[in-house]
Amino acid sequence: MRALIFGRFQPFHRGHLSIVEWAFERGYREIVFLVGMASENYTPRNPFTAGERIEMIRLSFADAGLPLDRAITATIRTLETSIGSVYYVLSYVPRVDTILTRNPVIAKVFLDAGINVERPPLFNRDEWRGERIRRLIARGDDRWKETVTPSTARFIEEVGGVERIRWATSSD
């Protein structure tokens, strides 16, 4: 069984990783990560490039001791949500059995297209949420490092992600 997780992953955090571990416990053999809004980066909402987000996924897998051969990554540009976009999305990834999403609109269009949908549980949503993590980074609050794996935190610093987020969110 193969599941699709479609997201921006700005950044890939412990909540995303918890969904992966939950999916593996449920019997999914592989996870396909479709990195959305791949054409947008260096903005407050999407500060990281598609390539950086893929690297964060891989680093998080390594830190968690998960085998990389169970992760498949792909990217897709920004697009509208419609039944037609489901078929477009599916043309960018290998065959999947299920999409894992908590987004009711995404769930509905995939269901209407005949794709199985599972709703993963929330994992520490108050702390592990991309918007909150980016806000912590922008404020210089080092608690953001607890929301991602150690290698991902180092990577964000190495690529200048902290400065990039501060720059992108500054009002000057």
Confidence band (pLDDT; 50, 70, 90) for 80? low
Q: What angle do CA 142, 147, 148 make, to 5 degrees?
A: 105
Domains of the chain: 2-169 (3.40.50.620)
Two tokens at 6? 């479609």
pLDDT digits (tens, 9 = 90+) for 86-135: 888 888 899 999 999 999 988 999 999 899 999 999 898 889 999 999 99
Q: What are phi and psi of 66, to 5 degrees?
A: -95, 140
pLDDT value of position 125? 84
pLDDT at residue 82 tops 70:
no
| Mean model confidence pLDDT for the chain | 93
